[in-house]
Structure 1
């Protein structure tokens, strides 16, 4: 069921992207967000890591050349480093952890490329549509009986 949700998320993301010319923060990100709807703190933590990685990448861009693949690689690595630093420091007691290992970096890339409002708006719409499709198919999405079970 896990892979089915991710594949359905990719299909819905592609359709949305073709119809609106907006990327829903990457093709796989909405599927992973739907998988974590039962844990809103996890989604919020992933968004926080994406924003922190984007800010750190902007600072790094002042002292080194970051564009294209370099920028994307920097965002992925920075999201890992920031998550590791937060977990190691114990700043956030009961740290919920990021959604997936690459989702924050992919999300940060789309925030940079497309803008915050457009990216988060598109992500919200596609996540909502995907959630409704899963509910219509009989998959529980919210609550303690989330799609992980």
Structure 2
């Protein structure tokens, strides 16, 4: 089985467990699986969470001017997160040499990136529904649990 598929499957289980036992979501059902595979790259996680927060803030700003709720809000946040992620990814890709000068540990094949395409939008959606800190804390906790489960299942030499 492919590593991403396994991580998402375990993440689904962990997300559902958090929702059932604690009544709080881990930023969307698939998000902990994606984040778990990036725990060794904290810059990627920080960028993704920051984009989620920026998307959330932009959604709040637009909500004050227009009617934005339900499916419309969900689609708006997912699309905004996707577009912001694509813009940031393009900017990082074009300026990789500039950023690698500041971070000598970054190799040419390992440029900083946003995790997933819709992950920032899903994070923003759950920040809006249940709160910023609740979402971040449960997301990171769930991701660590998924990562630990992957290590147990795949053995000690697990490399994402």
Shared fold (TM-score, shorter chain, > 0.5): yes
The corresponding residue for 1:137 is 153
Match runs of 1:67-86 below 5 Å: 67-86=69-88
Match of 1:32 in 2: 34
Quick check: 1:105 aligned with 2:155? no
Aligned mates of 1:6, 1:97 — CA distance in 2: 19
Q: Of the candidates 32, 43, 58, which is equivalent to residue 56 of structure 1?
A: 58
- Gaps of at least 5 residues in structure 1 are none
Gaps of 5+ in 2: 97-110
CA 1:84–1:19 in 2, change beyond 3 Å: closer, same or farther? same
| Separation in structure 2 between the aligned mates of residue 80 and residue 13 of structure 1, nearest angstrom | 22
Distance in 2 (alpha carbons) for counterparts of 1:74 and 1:140: 41
For 1:47 and 1:20, locate their aligned partners in 2 and report how far apart those are by CA, in whole Å.
22
1:126 alignment partner in structure 2: 142
Picking from 88, 109, 112, the partner of 1:96 is 112
Q: Structure 2 CA distance, aligned partners of 1:48 and 1:70? A: 22
Q: Structure 1 residues 129 and 66, CA, compared in 2 at 3 Å: closer, same or farther?
A: same
Task: Give the total of aligned pairs.
Answer: 144
Deviating 4+ runs (over 6 angstroms): none
Aligned CA distance change for structure 1 residues 139 and 57 (closer, same or farther; 3 Å): farther
- How far does residue 65 in structure 1 lie from its aligned partner after superposition? 0.6
Instruction: Flag the 1:124–1:23 CA change in 2: closer, same or farther, 3 A.
Output: same
3-state DSSP of counterpart to 2:154? coil
Matched, 1:19 2:50: no
Q: CA RMSD in A?
A: 2.2
TM superposition score normalised by structure 1: 0.85
Contact 1:35 1:146 survives alignment (8 Å): no
Q: Is the 8 A contact 1:37 1:146 kept in 2?
A: no
- Judge conservation of contact 1:38–1:146 (CA < 8 Å) in 2: no
Find the aligned partners of 1:36 and 1:106 in 2 and give their Cα distance: 17
